[in-house]
Amino acid sequence: MKRQLRRVLGMTVVATLLSFAAHAQSYPVRPVRILVPLAAGGGMDTVTRGLGLKLADSLGQTVVVDNRPGAGSLVALDILASAAPDGHTLMMISATTVIHPALYGSRYDVVRDFTPVGQVTAQGYVLVVHPSIAAKSVQELVQYLRANPGKLNYASSGIGSPIHMSTELFSIATRTRMTHVPFKGMGAAYADLVGGRIQLSFATIISSLPHVNAGRLRALAVTPAKRAPALPDVPTLTEAGVKVVVVNWYGLIAPPKTPKATVERISSEVAKAMQSPDIAKRLVAEGSEAAPSSPQAFAAHLKVEQAQWSRVIKEAGIRPQ
C-alpha cells in the first residue's frame, strides 16, 4: 500500500513538472502586454518599448506596451493583480513602486503580492549645482551646507520620488539640511535650476547632460558605485567621501502565482534582449546600462530597496502631502 502511494505521488510530481515545462515551452500563445505605470515618452516607456521589440522577435508574439499612469503605480498594479498568472501580462516598475507604499500606504506589497521576474536596467543620478554656488567639489558643498542649514533649495520630481529620497539619504549621510522644492517631473524643474532659483538637484544623467556640457550646471558627483560612462571625469559620491550609493532601476514583475518555469523563460529572454549591442549602446549613451538579473536576485534587491527607503522616510521625517 505504501509503495503504491509513493508511486502515485511520484507520478503526480512528475506530471506537474512536465505540465510546467510544457507551459514554458509553449509560452506565449497570444500577445504579451507590459504595463507601464507612467505616461508615454519617459525613460521607462522608452526602455520598455525597446525591450518589447526584442521580445517580440524572440518570443514570436506581439508585445504591447500599455501605459497606465496614476496613483503611484496603483492603477497598473490593480490590473496586474487581477491578470491571469500565465506570463501574458507583465509590469515594468522602478523604485517609485517600492517607495510609494512605504510613504502613502498601499494594499499591495511588491515582493509579497507579485512575482519578481528580473531587473532590466540600472541608472544613477548626478549631483548638479548652479554655477553661482562656489562649491567645486562635494566636500566643499557639504561644508557650505553645514554652515548654512536650509539656505539652499533642491529640486525633485515630486514628494517620495527617487530623486527626493536620494537627496534625503545624502542629507542624512552628510548631516546637512536643505529646502525641498518638489516639481511635477524634472522637466519642469530645469528652468528654475538653470535660472539659479533652485541651487542643486540629484538629476538623471541623460536629462542633465546638455546643461552640464553647456556649463549651465556643474556636475559634482554621480550616485552609482562606479563612474558613469557618460560622465567619466565626474567622481562617484563614494570617491568624493560620502558613503552613499544610489542606483535607480527598472524591472519586471508578473501576477502572483505565475509558474516558475514561465518566469524563468521570460527572465532569460529579457537578459538576452538587454545584452544585445544596439540596446546596450543606446542605454550607455543615455547614462544607463543593462542590468538583467534572475528572479531570485531581483526579489532580494526589492527587499533591500524596501528596507533602505523605509529607513530614509523614517529618519528624514518625510510626510505625504
Q: Please indicate, yes or no, whether residues 137 and 196 belong to a single structural domain of this protein.
A: yes
Residues 279, 296, single domain; the answer is: yes
Task: Please tell me the predicted confidence (pLDDT) of residue 25.
Answer: 65
Query: What residue has cell string 562649491?
Result: 135
Give Dmax (Cα) for the chain. 85
Phi, psi of 200 (to 5 degrees): -160, 165
Q: What is the pTM (predicted TM-score) of this model?
A: 0.82
Given a cut of 60, is residue 20 above it in pLDDT?
Answer: no
Q: Could you tell me what percentage of the chain is helix, strand and coil, using 3-state DSSP and rounding each to the nearest 5?
A: 50, 20, 35
pLDDT value at position 21? 47
The verdict on residue 231 lying in a domain is no
Residues 283 and 298 in one domain: yes
Going by pLDDT thresholds of 50, 70 and 90, the confidence category of residue 186 is confident
Cα(56)–Cα(49) distance, integer angstroms: 10
Whether the Cβ atoms of residue 246 and residue 305 lie closer than 8 Å to each other: no
Give per-residue pLDDT as tens, 60-99: 999 999 999 988 899 999 999 999 999 999 999 999 999 9
Confirm whether 11 is domain-assigned.
yes
User: Which has the higher per-residue pLDDT, 38 or 295?
Assistant: 295
Domain region containing 157: 125-222
Tell me, yes or no, whether 18 lies in a domain: yes
pLDDT for residue 4 is more than 70: no
Q: Give the total number of structural domains in the chain.
A: 2
Same domain as 261, residue 186:
no
Query: Is 230 inside a domain boundary?
Result: no
Looking at the fold, whether 118 and 258 belong to one and the same domain comes out as yes
Looking at residue 215, which CATH number applies to its domain? Answer: 3.40.190.10
151 and 85, same structural domain?
Answer: no
Comparing 25 with 280, which gets the higher pLDDT? 280
- Whether 232 maps to a domain, the answer reads no
Q: Which residue has the cell 545584452?
A: 275
- 108 and 18 in one domain? yes
* Angle subtended at Cα 48 by Cα 265 and Cα 158, rounded to the nearest 5 degrees: 125
Question: Is residue 7 pLDDT above 80, yes or no?
Answer: no
Q: What are phi and psi of 9, to 5 degrees?
A: -65, -40
Residue 49 lies in a domain: yes
* Band of residue 6 on the pLDDT scale cut at 50, 70, 90: low
Residues 22 and 79 occupy one common structural domain: yes
H-run or E-run covering 5: helix 2-26
- In whole angstroms, give the CA distance from residue 137 to residue 127: 10
Q: Please tell me the distance from the alpha carbon of residue 291 to that of residue 302, in angstroms, as a whole number.
A: 14
- Position 283 scores a pLDDT of 87
Describe the strand order of the beta sheet including 218-222 as a list of residue ranges: 179-182, 153-156, 200-204, 125-129, 218-222
Q: What DSSP letter does each residue of 244-283 carry, written as one string?
A: ----EEEEEEE-TT--HHHHHHHHHHHHHHHTSHHHHHHH
Is 27 in the same domain as 77? yes
Q: Judge whether 211 and 194 are in contact, CB under 8 Å.
A: yes
Instruction: Report the CATH number at residue 258.
Output: 3.40.190.150
Q: Is residue 242 part of a domain?
A: no
Across-strand partners of 303? none
16 and 115 in a single domain? The answer is yes
Say whether both 146 and 106 belong to one domain.
no
Q: Is pLDDT at 165 greater than 70 in this prediction?
A: yes
